[in-house]
Amino acid sequence: MTTFTRDDILSGLRDLIAELRASGEVAGIRLVGGAALAIRYFDRRATNDLDALHVHPGSDDVVLTAAARVGARRGWDDGWFNFAVERTGSLPSFGRRTVEWETIYDEDGILIQVAAEDALLAMKLRANRPGRDVDDIRHLLVLCGTTTLDDAEELYEDFYPGDTLTDRAVGIVERILATGLPVDVTPPGPIDL
């Protein structure tokens, strides 16, 4: 299985942009998950793929075809860039808070955005995979100024009304808070696309 560092993610996105530009395509790409965190918010361990939301404007198929060409040239696994997160039920859509997006690239009809840290925290709390999400949750709690379990529950419910944190998510947050939050979370550096 291919794993992607921040440098891999950025160079893969540069190649994807070049593929789309060469074919005269437009694309609005929104990234979530580990790739969004690594690109914009903090140094983190590698991720296995780039989770994206359906393209608008543009075509998912066109973007996936361009991504497949990039992956084939680089020897990356199929699906290195995918829309699978759309099928997980983890995307907030009807909450009191709406997902805000930060533009990290906008040229020649190609737009790339990453989700804001509060939405990413809500999504990580929803996934709450032991081992995989704990460090991300720890760092996102700091970035969101979330210092209590009540704060985490309120943020989560703002994005997913009517839902509450699972017992596993509550346990993860309680353990993180008991061991202490990081003092500082440093952005990983400039985004060069």
pLDDT tens digit sequence for 105-155? 999 999 999 999 999 999 999 999 998 899 999 999 999 999 999 999 999
142 three-state secondary structure = helix
Q: How does 51-82 read in b/e, with b if 16+ C-beta sit within 10 Å?
A: bbbebeebebebbbebbbebbeeeebeebbbb
Q: Tell me which amino acid residue 172 is.
A: I
pLDDT digits (tens, 9 = 90+) for 15-25: 999 999 999 99
**Ramachandran class of 162: left when φ > 0, alpha when ψ lies in -120 to 50, beta otherwise:** left
How far is 91 from 118, CA to CA, in rounded Å?
12
Q: Report the predicted TM-score, pTM, of the whole model to 2 decimal places.
A: 0.94
Q: Are 77 and 71 in contact (CB under 8 A)?
A: yes
DSSP 3-state percent helix, strand, coil across the chain (nearest 5)? 45, 15, 40
Report residue 76 CA to chain centroid gap: 19
Q: Is the pLDDT of residue 91 over 90?
A: no
Per-residue pLDDT, 45: 83
Per-residue pLDDT, 1: 85
Opening angle at CA 28, ends 107 and 82, nearest 5: 125
63 three-state secondary structure = helix
26 three-state secondary structure = coil
Orientation angle between helical segments 134-143 and 167-179, nearest 10 degrees: 70
Per-residue pLDDT, 115: 96
82 three-state secondary structure = strand
Mean pLDDT of the chain: 94
How far is 93 from 90, CA to CA, in rounded Å?
9
Per-residue pLDDT, 164: 96
Q: Which residues neighbour 187 within 8 Å (Cβ) at sequence distance 6 or greater? A: 40, 41, 42
